[in-house]
Amino acid sequence: MLALSTQSADAAVKFENIAKSSLSTNEEQTDYDDVTTYNNFYEFGTDKRSPAKLAHRMTTRPWTVEVSGECEKPKTWNIEDILTGFQLEERIYRHRCVEAWSMVIPWVGFSLGDFLKVHQPTSKAKYIEMRTLYRPEEMEGQKSGLFGSSLNWPYREGLRIDEAMHPLAIFAVGLYGEHMPNQNGAPIRLVVPWKYGFKGIKSIVSVQFMEEQPLNTWQEQASREYGFYANVNPYVDHPRWSQASERRVGTLFGREPTLMFNGYEEQVASLYSGMDLTVHF
């Protein structure tokens, strides 16, 4: 369990000695103000602007991440040990939301695979499940009768173990060279750039290795609209809108074609070889 604190992480604190990743895109980055004020984080409201207004209420120190399940070395980490225990890199990734808008974000993070290997998953570990902080007194959307309160809190997400071990998958702890702002998922969140944004679970407090496929929150809420895999796919539309094009946040006009796997097809398509992506969406 997390202890409460009156302290919050200072998102303006700069990281030092961040390596530059060769996996980054060279596309123009989305403006910092857009990245930090236009967010999906239902724990603070369904409006895109609400998280930036309300997320300061979430305390992020002390913070622990519990790793358990099908592994030889379960452990509960303090966030400070995570920040110093893994090589931090700047990873400039495309970000594509299921609502058909996109950004290019310079994340600060580290390999999810490296983190998971420390715990020595057993042969039974086929998936991981992650959970977000549950603290209704600080996260307004978790209160009964408010915002997205129909969701079954805490927020849950999952990955197949081979997806989680892929070099592109990271745990992010910051953006634009600074510690992660609360509204973007402080102090640690998932970034899987070939998947829709709802897959990028924020403010993570637990990781569990599992033998069976976990049920993620939006799949539980609306399985016809949100699947387990959530791969960006211009050929499989959301039931209520097309996924063939997207709007880049911060631009005034026009749309651009959605790229298969969000432009990371060459790197990740082999993960889904032989799968019907209209079924496994």
For residues 101-124, give the mean pLDDT: 98
Residue numbers of the domain that contains 39: 19-272
Check residue 253 and give its pLDDT.
82
The full DSSP string for 36-76 is HHS---GGG-SSTTHHHHHGGGS--BS-EEEEEESBSS-EE
pLDDT of residue 252: 80
Residues 6+ apart with CB under 8 A from 253: none
Closest Cα partner for 183 from 33, 14, 29? 33
* Three-class DSSP category at 200: coil
The Cβ of residue 231 has, within 10 Å, a number of other Cβ atoms equal to 25
> Is 125's pLDDT higher than 50?
yes
Asked if residues 112 and 119 have their Cβ atoms less than 8 Å apart, the reply is no
Beta pairing partners, 101: 247
What is the average per-residue pLDDT within 250-268? Answer: 94
Q: Which two tokens stand for residue 171?
A: 């745990």
- The answer to the question of residue 1 being in a domain is no
pLDDT tens readout for residues 27-61: 999 999 999 999 999 999 999 999 999 999 999 99
pLDDT value, residue 149: 60
> Model confidence over 189-247: pLDDT tens digits?
999 999 999 999 999 999 999 999 999 999 999 999 999 999 999 999 999 999 999 99
Contact between 232 and 259 (Cβ < 8 Å): yes
Higher per-residue confidence, 277 vs 149: 277
Q: What value does the mean pLDDT of the chain take? A: 93
- Phi and psi at residue 104, in whole multiples of 5°? -120, 115
If you average pLDDT over residues 142-170, what whole number do you get? 88
74: cis peptide before it, omega within 30°? no
Burial class for 182, CB neighbours closer than 10 Å (0-12, 13-18, 19+): buried
Q: What pLDDT sits at residue 4?
A: 32
Whether residue 239 is preceded by a cis peptide bond, meaning omega within 30 degrees of 0, is no
Residues 243-264 have a mean pLDDT of: 94
C-alpha distances in Å from residue 32, one per residue of 127, 195, 208, 250: 33, 22, 33, 10
For residues 161 and 169, give the distance between their C-alpha atoms in angstroms, rounded to a whole number: 11
CATH code at position 224: 3.90.420.10
What confidence score (pLDDT) does residue 240 get?
A: 95
279 belongs to a structural domain: no
The arithmetic mean of pLDDT across residues 169-198, rounded, is 98
| 3-state SS assignment for residue 157 | strand
pLDDT at 105: 98
Q: What's the mean pLDDT in 125-153?
A: 87
In the structure, how many helices (H) and strands (E) does the chain have? 7, 13
- Domain-located, residue 218: yes
Q: Hey, what are 49's tokens?
A: 């602007």
50 domain residue, yes or no: yes
Tokens read off for 99 = 């609502």
| Chain position carrying tokens 């209420």 | 57
Place of tokens 């202890």: 3
DSSP states along 83-113: HHHS--EEEEEEEE-TTSEEEEEEEEEEEHH
Instruction: For residue 9, tell me if it sits in a domain.
Output: no
Start-to-end CA span in the chain (Å)? 34
How does residue 80 score in pLDDT terms, banded at 50, 70 and 90? very high
Q: Are 157 and 220 in contact (CB under 8 A)?
A: no
Q: Is position 95 within any domain? A: yes
Look at residue 244 in the predicted model and tell me its pLDDT: 98
Q: Is residue 6 in a domain?
A: no
**Does any domain span residue 231?**
yes
State the total domains in the chain: 1
Average pLDDT over residues 117-127: 98
